[in-house]
C-alpha cells in the first residue's frame, strides 16, 4: 500500500471517528470538541493538496513505506 492510500485511509477513518464522537445523536458521543479535530484533519488534507506537505506522509516515509507520486 502506498503512502497516499495510507494517508487517505487514515484521514477518512479519523474524520468518521471524530464525527461520531462529536455529534450529539451518535451512540458513541463524547463531546462536541471532537469536531475541532475533524476540522483539523480536513484543513490538513486541504493544505497538503496545494503544498504537498503532510506530517503523516513524512512519518510513513521514515517507516519505510513505499512513496507514491503525491508525497
Q: What value does the CA radius of gyration of the chain take, rounded to a whole number of Å?
A: 14
Reported pTM = 0.85
In Å, the largest CA–CA distance within the chain is: 40
> Could you read off the pLDDT of 13-45 as tens digits, one per residue?
999 999 999 999 999 999 999 999 999 999 999
Mean pLDDT value of segment 3-17: 95
Mean pLDDT value of segment 42-64: 93
Map out the domains of the chain as residue ranges: 3-62
**Residue 71 pLDDT > 70:** no
Q: Are 61 and 67 in contact (CB under 8 A)?
A: yes
Amino acid at each position: 500500500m502506498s503512502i497516499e492510500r495510507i494517508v487517505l485511509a487514515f484521514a477518512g477513518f479519523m474524520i468518521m471517528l471524530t464525527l461520531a464522537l462529536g455529534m450529539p445523536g451518535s451512540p458513541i458521543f463524547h463531546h462536541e470538541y471532537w469536531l475541532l479535530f475533524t476540522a483539523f484533519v480536513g484543513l490538513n488534507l486541504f493544505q497538503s493538496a496545494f503544498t504537498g506537505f503532510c506530517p503523516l506522509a513524512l512519518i510513513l516515509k521514515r517507516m519505510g513505506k513505499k512513496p507514491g507520486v503525491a508525497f
